[in-house]
């Protein structure tokens, strides 16, 4: 799909499809349409209350046949006072989902005349790119068709700034789709070795350095957690290190992503219904890989290293048992009392290894606990950390994209629930505060390094389709990670 930008006050003359934004309860059409033939048509329909401006609404414009185009759509933005990058992204997804149901030629989309139009254009472009790709990876006929070309129109905007924003939106939107595709890939097609190769290809194409460890290297590096979780599978684990250094003498940040390619729960077996979406348990790794690739494509002046432990959690004859004690990379011993609490075990090794490279900050992302979904639902990620400034940076980045986080406590007394009689720690706490005790467990492997943890179990997966989101993997927090790296790239 060829994507370009235009600051022309009129729609491109050769566009076959036009899309205009509409806020909920708007009394007049967008000002940028007032001097076009579309303006009076919109005004009549708005006065007749024939158009919906709710977020996710997409309404065909009737009576526009004399405009010389195949069709016009009004896409809703929700309440003007609540509008921001998150709403622009969702509106773009909804519009693209509607239009991409059939092959289209040239589509021109008008940017809302609200706020920083260049920034809004980027989020809108991200959503349009995401919405043209569905989750139907293995259907004989795809249900979505990327447009032949897409023009983002923002009259009165600085042309250079608009071009840069639209290009950024295209890169970030494609990165979200890369993460979604990895998550939606069937588990038989993304064993740890296969996923590592796909991540390697994604990274190399973007100009990111890649190192892939096999099981012998992992064992020699004393990754006891990763080897323990992998022991029940016929498919050996992998550990992937992604390195992007374009920040000169700037300090390096570390991103760690959980990569469990399928989680049966191990001997603490999940019910069948709870396994249906467990191909998504590697979302953290997919998001980190896609985000670093996006940073490289955008040539961001940052130094970032990604650490991705990859394994299946299965029930084979060599699977770890309840009561087994594993020794982590940093020497801490862990008693395994629930094999379905495996993500924290592989992250413990990855975090320990990341700390040894002395990064200035660490952020890990993991579909870690169902308890976080009980606490916050499916739209919020739980946010934890040992450094208020770093946690605040993550919060600001998420707010700038409209992706939702909520900080949860991490007081020292939560560590009491992880005390073991036979080892330094046990891998589960008690009945209460499961997301917090899981985060407290991870904290034991970061030392004094500023660290933040996102439990993305809820927003990583959508059980059903909606106007602004597809069922399946969502690619959540790619947009936030890119925004975070952009913020770190700016002068202090």
Catalytic residues: 270, 344
For helices 283-297 and 159-184, give the axis angle rounded to 10 degrees.
150
Structure tokens that stand for 75 in this block: 């896409």
Contacts of 220 (CB under 8 A, 6+ apart): none
DSSP-derived secondary structure for 368-408: --HHHHHHH-SSEEEEEES-HHHHHHHHHHHHHHT-EEEE-
Structure tokens that stand for 3 in this block: 């994507």
Q: What is d(CA 224, CA 229) in angstroms, rounded to the nearest whole number?
A: 9
How far from chain centre, in Å, is Cα 404? 11
Cα angle 290, 295, 296 (rounded to 5 degrees) comes to 100
How many residues does the structure list for the chain? 492
Q: Are 22 and 53 in contact (CB under 8 A)?
A: yes
Contacts of 161 (CB under 8 A, 6+ apart): 118
Measured from the Cβ of residue 486, the count of other Cβ atoms closer than 10 Å reads 17
Structure tokens that stand for 325 in this block: 């004690």
Spell out the alpha helix ranges (H) of 138-213: 159-184, 192-206
How far from chain centre, in Å, is Cα 384? 18
Structure tokens that stand for 388 in this block: 């208020």
């Amino acid at each position: 799909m060829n994507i370009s930008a235009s600051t022309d006050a009129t729609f491109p003359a050769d566009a076959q499809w036009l899309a205009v934004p509409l806020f909920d309860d708007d009394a007049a059409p967008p000002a940028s349409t007032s001097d076009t033939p579309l303006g009076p048509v919109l005004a009549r329909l708005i006065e007749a209350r024939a158009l919906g401006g709710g977020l996710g609404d997409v309404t065909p414009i009737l009576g526009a046949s004399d405009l010389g185009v195949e069709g016009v759509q009004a896409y809703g933005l929700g309440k003007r006072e609540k509008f921001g990058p998150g709403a622009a992204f969702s509106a773009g997804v909804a519009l693209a989902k509607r239009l991409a149901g059939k092959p289209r030629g040239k589509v021109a989309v008008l940017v809302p005349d609200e706020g920083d139009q260049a920034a809004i254009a980027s989020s809108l472009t991200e959503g349009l790119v995401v919405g043209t790709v569905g989750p139907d990876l293995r259907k004989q006929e795809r249900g979505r068709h990327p447009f032949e070309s897409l023009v983002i129109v923002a009259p009165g905007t600085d042309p250079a700034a608009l071009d840069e924003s639209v290009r950024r939106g295209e890169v970030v939107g494609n990165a979200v789709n890369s993460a979604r595709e990895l998550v939606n890939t069937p588990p038989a097609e993304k064993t740890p070795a296969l996923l590592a190769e796909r991540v390697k290809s994604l990274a190399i194409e973007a100009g990111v350095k890649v190192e892939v460890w096999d099981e012998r290297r992992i064992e020699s590096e004393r990754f006891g957690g990763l080897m323990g979780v992998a022991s029940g599978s016929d498919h050996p684990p992998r550990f992937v290190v992604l390195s992007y250094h374009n920040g000169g003498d700037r300090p390096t940040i570390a991103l760690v992503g959980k990569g469990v390619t399928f989680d049966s729960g191990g001997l603490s077996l999940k019910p069948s219904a709870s396994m249906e979406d467990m191909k998504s348990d590697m979302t953290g790794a997919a998001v980190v890989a896609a985000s670093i690739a996006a940073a490289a494509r955008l040539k961001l002046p940052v130094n970032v290293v990604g650490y991705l432990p990859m394994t299946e959690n299965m029930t084979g004859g060599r699977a770890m048992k309840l009561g087994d004690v594993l020794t982590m990379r940093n020497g801490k011993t862990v008693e395994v009392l629930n094999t379905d609490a495996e993500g924290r075990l592989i992250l413990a090794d990855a975090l320990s290894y990341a700390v040894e490279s002395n990064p200035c900050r660490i952020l890990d992302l993991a579909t870690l606990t169902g308890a976080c979904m009980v606490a916050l639902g499916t739209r919020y990620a739980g946010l934890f950390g040992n450094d208020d400034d770093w946690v605040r940076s993550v919060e600001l980045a998420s707010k700038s994209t409209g992706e939702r986080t909520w900080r949860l406590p991490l007081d020292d007394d939560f560590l009491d629930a992880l005390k073991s009689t036979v080892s330094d720690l046990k891998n589960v706490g008690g009945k209460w505060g499961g997301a917090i005790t899981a985060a407290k467990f991870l904290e034991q492997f970061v030392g004094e390094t500023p660290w933040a943890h996102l439990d993305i179990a809820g927003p990583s997966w959508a059980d059903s389709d909606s106007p602004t989101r597809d069922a399946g993997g969502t690619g959540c927090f790619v947009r936030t990670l890119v925004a975070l790296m952009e913020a770190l790239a700016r002068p202090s």
